[in-house]
Amino acid sequence: MADSFGPMQDEDADDGVVGMGPEAGPAGNEPIRVLVVDDHALFRRGLEIVLAAEEDIQVVGEAGDGAEAVDKAADLLPDIVLMDVRMPKRGGIEACTSIKEVAPSAKIIMLTISDEEADLYDAIKAGATGYLLKEISTDEVATAIRAVADGQSQISPSMASKLLTEFKSMIQRTDERRLVPAPRLTDRELEVLKLVATGMNNRDIAKELFISENTVKNHVRNILEKLQLHSRMEAVVYAMREKILEIR
């Protein structure tokens, strides 16, 4: 498909979004069930038409604002919620938290024109697994949906750069704050966390540490449980805040 939601990026297709390795993919061969949330009916319709051409993706519903999105998510229990940030009645970021409560297995991708660092950071804190700008091509939307459904985090490259800058600034501002001691990780878990924070996937981490991919998955699961985190993206935030990963 040659269409796009805005200017095509200069990056190669593989570089269209920044991804982090899989945690756990969905089981079975059922299509990925998607709920589309945007306050512009024309944009929603465009996404439906684009995704209808993908055999492994099924749009199961749509909503025009965050409040309606929460209701639809509770009824439909989608695999993926593709949602705008800025909407009337209730914005996408505010809706994230409620959607995670009524449909815990749903993974949320913010698809927006907002390139504000604050929106990106708030979306991650609210439980979003992806943050993509609407300038990406239609092919990249489908690719991102598949990646997130498979347990990866997806973020537009320009926003990834802003994310690192924002976290570096945040670390500098809050360097003196340490209210609760961090949970102890084993030396191996710290090694895995450092590699996760650099964006490596499980397969590459396994090769780097000369261990099996299943062992890596177990370490990642233990790390997230110990730190009370929900995704690899949150693990990156934690690693930066605690200076486990140095930002130069």
Return the ∠ at Cα 32 (arms to 199 and 68), rounded to 5°: 100
Range from 19-28, 98-107, 139-148, 155-164 carrying the lowest mean pLDDT:
19-28
Indicate which CATH number applies to the domain containing 53: 3.40.50.2300
For the cut 70, the answer to whether the pLDDT of residue 12 exceeds it is no
**How confident is the model over 213-244, as pLDDT tens digits?**
899 999 998 988 888 887 777 777 777 777 66
192 inside domain? yes
Q: Which of 125, 159, 193 is the last residue of a domain?
A: 159
205 inside domain? yes
Range from 114-123, 156-165, 173-182 carrying the lowest mean pLDDT:
173-182
pLDDT at 169: 59
Give me the sign of the Cα torsion angle 222, 162, 20, 77.
positive
pLDDT at 183: 67
Residues 76 and 177 in one domain: no
5 inside domain? no
123 inside domain? yes
**How confident is the model over 53-100, as pLDDT tens digits?**
999 999 999 999 999 999 999 999 999 999 999 888 888 988 998 999
Entry pTM: 0.60
Q: For residue 19, list its beta bridge partners.
A: 154
Residues 60 and 138 in one domain: yes
Q: DSSP state, 15?
A: G
Q: Count how many Cα atoms sit within 13 Å of the Cα of residue 75 in the half-sphere of its side chain.
A: 11
Q: Count how many Cα atoms sit within 13 Å of the Cα of residue 97 in the half-sphere of its side chain.
A: 7
For the cut 60, the answer to whether the pLDDT of residue 22 exceeds it is no
Q: Which of 159, 186, 204 is the last residue of a domain?
A: 159
Could you list the residue range(s) of the whole structural domain that residue 144 is in? 13-159
Please give the mean pLDDT across all residues of the chain.
79
Indicate which CATH number applies to the domain containing 234: 1.10.10.10
Closest CA to 147 of 134, 120, 124, 129: 129
**DSSP three-state, residue 14:** helix
* Count of domains for the chain: 2
Residues 140 and 229 in one domain: no
Residues 118 and 181 in one domain: no
165 inside domain? no
**How many Å apart are CA 72 and CA 126, to the nearest integer?**
18
Q: 184: Cβ–Cβ under 8 A, 6 or more apart, which residues?
A: 226
When computed from its CA atoms, the radius of gyration of the chain, rounded to whole angstroms, is: 18
Task: Determine contact, residues 58/32, Cβ cutoff 8 Å.
Answer: yes
pLDDT at 178: 47
36 inside domain? yes
3-state secondary structure labels for all residues of 168-212: HHHHHHCCCCCCCCCCCCCHHHHHHHHHHHCCCCHHHHHHHHCCC
